[in-house]
């Protein structure tokens, strides 16, 4: 019951944070002077095509771009009636992309799922690699396993991940025949779900997952190793060994369980970097996620598209953080957030 109450409370704070974030995003998007439409008007007038100007003027009114900024914000979120009544983000109207002349919802529709899928894959990858490696590195500390893994970890932190992407694509293609770019073979585009299609998607996911996850694996592994080393020196471990418990069972049952708590809490720190990574990697690897859209939208001042993508990315992060907080409470009953202030 307490967990449920905490979850509800956490959900409430998340909504509040989201509100602040929306203001922040709106301000940042509107920082550059002018907007997409006024740039267009200037361009048309410069080239003497006055016919198009009327249409763009109409668009300006249609999307309330002639209103003062604070009103534009309220209309965008949906707190204030625009030219067509209440229709903003909370009413489910994501806005219009001027650059693509398409509703934002149509552009990003399927890409949202690809974005979520990619990030979930990366999180799973990080846990699958970092946990065993970290435990082994701690259990066999100061041996070659430990040194190799920490060296790879350092290298993973130091290489910019977009370069890693280029290198892996190059060598993956040359020696293993891994596919380059995209999330599936072009043949499967728009096909119904089939076994081959899933296989193709998985094959295409290998390099992006690896690239985005490396830095996360490195930092998580190092932290787990440090936590485990702290725990391994404690008397209860000695007792377990003295009882004659099998080492692997002992490791998994006692120290790992304790060392794992900070880990779950870490998802909150991990997610922002992951999503950052996935945005830039998607641009380079031309993955059908919202990363490339964000870049073009920012470059062309396509404000509704850019605003929505930023909001979505922030939402993803906030939801991830919330889940990790709730999980943490379930995993460790000693943590009670209500009493912390006292």
Partner 1 sequence: MTQLPDGRYVDDAPYDPQISIQQLERQDLDAPNWLLVWRKFRQHKLGLISGIFLLLSYLMLPFAGFFAPYGANERHEEHLFSPPQLVRFFHEGEFLGPYIYPMTAEANLETFQWEFKPDYSNPSRLRFFCKGTEYKLAGLIPSKRHLFCAAEGQTIFLWGSDRLGRDVFSRILYGAQLSLTVGLIGITVSFVLGIGFGSLAGYFGGTIDWVVNRVIEILRSLPELPLWLALSAAVPSNWSPVAVFFIISIILGILDWPGLARSVRAKFLSLREEEFVRAAEMMGASSGRVIQKHLLPNFMSHLIASATLSIPAMILGETALSFLGLGLRAPAVSWGVMLNDAQNLASVDIYPWIAIPMLPIVVVVLAFNFLGDGLRDSLDPYQS
Minimal distance in Å, beta carbon 257 to partner 1? 26
Minimal distance in Å, beta carbon 142 to partner 1? 15
Residue closer to partner 1 (CB basis): 227 or 240: 227
Residue closer to partner 1 (CB basis): 245 or 298: 298
Residue closer to partner 1 (CB basis): 95 or 277: 277
The residues facing 97 across adjacent strands are 102
Minimal distance in Å, beta carbon 272 to partner 1? 4
Structure tokens at 241: 């060994």
Orientation of helix 104-139 relative to helix 303-331, angle to 10°: 40
Q: Give contact residues for partner 1 (rule: CB under 8 A).
A: 17, 20-21, 24-25, 28-29, 31-33, 154-155, 157-160, 162-163, 166, 169-170, 180, 268-269, 271-273, 275-277, 279-280, 283-284, 294-295, 298-299, 301, 306, 309-310, 313-314, 317-318, 321
Minimal distance in Å, beta carbon 27 to partner 1? 10
Residue closer to partner 1 (CB basis): 160 or 247: 160
H-helix or E-strand spanning residue 218:
helix 195-232
Nearest to 53 by CA among 37, 32, 69: 37
Those residues whose C-beta lies under 8 Å from the C-beta of residue 296, and which sit 6 or more positions away, are 99, 302
- As a whole number of angstroms, the distance between CA 72 and CA 61 comes to 11
Residue closer to partner 1 (CB basis): 113 or 154: 154
Minimal distance in Å, beta carbon 337 to partner 1? 14
Burial of 306 (0-12, 13-18, 19+ CB in 10 A): buried
Q: State the residue for tokens 């977009």.
A: 162
Structure tokens at 135: 């435990």
């Amino acid at each position: 019951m307490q967990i449920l109450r905490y979850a509800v409370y956490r959900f409430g704070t998340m909504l509040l944070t989201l509100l602040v974030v929306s203001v922040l995003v709106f301000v940042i998007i509107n920082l550059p002077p002018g907007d997409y439409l006024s740039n267009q008007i200037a361009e048309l007038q410069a080239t003497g095509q006055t016919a198009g100007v009327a249409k763009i003027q109409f668009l300006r009114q249609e999307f309330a771009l002639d209103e003062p900024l604070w009103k534009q914000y309220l209309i965008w979120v949906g707190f204030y009636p625009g030219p067509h009544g209440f229709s903003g983000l909370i009413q489910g109207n994501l806005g219009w992309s001027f650059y693509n002349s398409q509703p934002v919802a149509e552009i990003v529709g399927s890409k949202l799922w690809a974005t979520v899928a990619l990030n979930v894959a990366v999180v799973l990858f990080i846990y699958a690699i970092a946990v065993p490696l970290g435990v082994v590195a701690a259990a066999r500390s100061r041996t070659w396993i430990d040194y190799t893994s920490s060296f790879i970890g350092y290298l993973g932190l130091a290489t910019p991940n977009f370069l890693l992407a280029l290198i892996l694509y190059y060598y993956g293609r040359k020696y293993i025949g891994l596919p380059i770019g995209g999330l599936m073979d072009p043949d499967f585009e728009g096909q119904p779900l089939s076994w081959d299609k899933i296989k193709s998607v998985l094959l295409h996911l290998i390099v992006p997952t690896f690239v985005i996850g490396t830095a996360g694996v490195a930092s998580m592994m190092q932290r787990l190793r440090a936590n485990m080393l702290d725990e391994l020196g404690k008397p209860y471990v000695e007792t377990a060994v003295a009882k004659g418990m099998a080492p692997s069972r002992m490791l998994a049952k006692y120290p790992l369980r304790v060392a794992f708590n900070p880990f779950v809490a870490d998802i909150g720190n991990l997610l922002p970097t992951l999503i950052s990574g996935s945005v830039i990697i998607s641009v380079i690897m031309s993955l059908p996620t919202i990363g490339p859209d964000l870049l073009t939208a920012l470059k062309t001042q396509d404000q509704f598209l850019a605003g929505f993508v930023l909001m979505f990315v922030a939402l993803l992060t906030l939801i991830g953080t919330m889940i990790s907080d709730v999980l943490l409470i379930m995993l460790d009953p000693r943590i009670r957030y209500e009493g912390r202030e006292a």
